Structure 1
Amino acid sequence: MVRLVTRRLVWAVPMLFVVTFFSFVLVSLVPGDPARSVLGQLATEQQVSELRQELGLDRPILPQYLDWLGRALRGDLGHSLVTGGDVGRLMGARLAPTLSLVVLATLAAGLLGVGLGMLSAVRGGALGRLIDVLSVAGLAVPGFWLGLLFVSWFAVHWRLFPATGYTPIAESPIGWLRSLVLPVAAASLAAATAVAKQTRDAVLDVLSREYVRVFEANGLSRRSILFRHVLRNAAVPIISLLGVVCAGLLGAAVLIENIFGLPGIGSGAVVAAMQHDIPVLQGAVVSFTLIVIAVGLVVDLLQAWLDPRVRTR
């Protein structure tokens, strides 16, 4: 287990370097001028040029990145070019809404998908075909479109949930949950269909094995076989898919957070991109990359716990 964790962490270091370097270069090449964003359209060219020199934006891209990297290795992600705020504190303040959305959406997709998949595997027939149809439809329907529909139905028409905004859990657990119901539903429904199909296929594969028929012949109850033996052996590919789903939800969070007005890292990255605020964008990239690395590590640990053969790979 220690070897598995060490290998994952060793691979995380070059991943961070590669991701941050390419994001820095790509953002620097995007048309726009942060100095002009700070000073406004009425500022003179001389004022803009002086601010660019003061911020170090007149230097080549590689020295700018190396300076940022040197500070980041010391734990300093810099300051916003537009507001002057500390990027580390800004990401920390925006982390809770993003994690709340991603974690709850992953749990919802997992619970709903595994439940439907197991039901489809046991019952089969029309339900199995319905899962296939829903899985294809789930991949075709974008989450932001579902989000707009949910706002129209459940927030505007029926007024069951707030359309926008976020309530911290420390302030009101009920308000926190209500503010996340619609975003989580929009983000998780498409993923739940993919999890359902993967679960059904994995459970059917395990049900066809010889030892399951031995259990049935020995008189074990159907429920005991399903939950104590079949689901555990089918869980490895399901957990792998949930890891992919969780990472994919980070990308979906950029749109979902903007639709529902959640003050998360994704919505902050969109504003930073429009303002060409490179330090804030880099902070968002680092945050997302660290979350993906953590998700991958958790998936590896769960798989190793369920299947000891994973530890030797």
Structure 2
Amino acid sequence: MLKLILRRLAWSIPLVLVASVVSFALVALLPGDAARSLLGPNATADQLEAARQELGLDRPLWVQYWNWLSGALHGDLGSSLINRQPVAGQLGDRLGPSLSLIIGAVLVATAVGVLMGVRAARRGAVGRLVQAGSIIGLALPDFWLGLVLVVVFAVKLAAFPPTGYIPLGQDPAGWLNSLVLPVITLAMPATATIARQARDAVSAALDQTYVRTLRAAGVPELSVVYRHALKNAAVPVLTVIGMVFVGALGGTVAVEFIFAIPGLGSTAVQATSAHDLPLIQGVVVYFTLIVVAVNLLVDVAYGYLNPRARLS
């Protein structure tokens, strides 16, 4: 297992490097720059040139990237070009809201999706209902669903706050209350995806010979389904859960914007519009490290569920 973890960590190094290079190049290709965003549209050419020199934007792109990379390798992600605040400090404050949203959505989607999928694996009307529900859940756009939830549960019923985020340490009940609507919004398509995968995997496991043997031996049906069939179907379901977690990183952009959550997704949008390269690079590094951590956890879970995976 230790060798598996070390191999995955070794592969993560070029992944982080490639992600940082690609993001740096793509943002540099966008029209405009941080000097224009900082000084506004009425700035003169001389003012823009002086700001570019002060910010280091007059240097070649590869020099700018090398300077950023040299600092990042020493744990310094630089300072924002717009507000001159350390990037690590800004993103550290925004990591908690994003992780709260993503982890909450994945947990809800996993619990509901697996239960729905297991129930649907036993076929019948419930299976057809899950099939239809999964198609609807995947088709609903995040921004539309979020707006509908705000109108119904925040405006009309006043059951939850429409926007905002309360830190867990400040008010645990308020923290939970502020996450209900955004978590549901982010979890809806993920639930549909997990439910379909769980249904297919458990259905295939229930058709195996060992299941018929267990039933013939008088093992209770719940034990057959949840203790034996679900465990053997866990690997493909776990794969989808890992993909859902990674996909939720992109979903946070729209959800955080709708519910005014100060997370990494909304920060990425603001930094991109301002051409704030150090802040964008910091978000990319955080997102990439989260992806690496999730993939590593999935690989470890593979090794636990299937010992043969430890040798791959």
Structure 2 equivalent of residue 267 of structure 1:
266
Mapping of 1:107-126 within 5 angstroms? 107-122=107-122, 124-126=123-125
What TM-score comes out, normalization by structure 1 length?
A: 0.98
Deviation at residue 214 of structure 1 after TM alignment: 1.1
Deviation at residue 44 of structure 1 after TM alignment: 2.4
Structure 1 equivalent of residue 132 of structure 2:
133
Mapping of 1:7-22 within 5 angstroms? 7-22=7-22
SS in 2 for 1:68: helix
Per-residue CA deviation, residues 80-105 of structure 1 (Å, 9 max, x unaligned), is 00000000011100000000000000
Structure 2 equivalent of residue 296 of structure 1:
295
Mapping of 1:1-313 within 5 angstroms? 1-122=1-122, 124-313=123-312
SS in 1 for 2:233: helix
How far, CA to CA, are the matches of 1:193 and 1:50 in structure 2? 53
How far, CA to CA, are the matches of 1:46 and 1:300 in structure 2? 55
How far, CA to CA, are the matches of 1:43 and 1:207 in structure 2? 69
Deviation at residue 63 of structure 1 after TM alignment: 1.2
How far, CA to CA, are the matches of 1:63 and 1:134 in structure 2? 52
Deviation at residue 47 of structure 1 after TM alignment: 1.7
Deviation at residue 48 of structure 1 after TM alignment: 1.4
Per-residue CA deviation, residues 26-60 of structure 1 (Å, 9 max, x unaligned), is 00111122112222334322121011012110112
SS in 2 for 1:35: helix
How many residue pairs end up in the alignment?
A: 312
SS in 2 for 1:289: helix
How far, CA to CA, are the matches of 1:281 and 1:66 in structure 2? 15
Bigger drift between 127-136 and 144-153 goes to 127-136
Per-residue CA deviation, residues 64-123 of structure 1 (Å, 9 max, x unaligned), is 11111111000000000000000001110000000000000000000000000111112x
How far, CA to CA, are the matches of 1:282 and 1:33 in structure 2? 15
How far, CA to CA, are the matches of 1:56 and 1:271 in structure 2? 20
SS in 2 for 1:27: helix
Per-residue CA deviation, residues 181-233 of structure 1 (Å, 9 max, x unaligned), is 00000000111011111101111111111111111111111111222211111
Bigger drift between 39-48 and 172-181 goes to 39-48
- Unaligned segments of structure 2, at least 5 residues: none
Deviation at residue 157 of structure 1 after TM alignment: 1.1
What TM-score comes out, normalization by structure 2 length?
A: 0.98
How far, CA to CA, are the matches of 2:11 and 2:137 in structure 1? 32
How far, CA to CA, are the matches of 2:10 and 2:141 in structure 1? 35
How far, CA to CA, are the matches of 1:38 and 1:296 in structure 2? 38
- Structure 1 stretches of 4+ moved >3 Å: none
How far, CA to CA, are the matches of 2:127 and 2:220 in structure 1? 23
Bigger drift between 92-101 and 53-62 goes to 53-62
SS in 2 for 1:50: helix
How far, CA to CA, are the matches of 1:235 and 1:173 in structure 2? 32
AA paired with 1:238? Answer: V
How far, CA to CA, are the matches of 2:290 and 2:83 in structure 1? 25
How far, CA to CA, are the matches of 1:185 and 1:238 in structure 2? 20
How far, CA to CA, are the matches of 2:201 and 2:104 in structure 1? 24
Per-residue CA deviation, residues 252-299 of structure 1 (Å, 9 max, x unaligned), is 001100000000011011111111111111111111010011010111
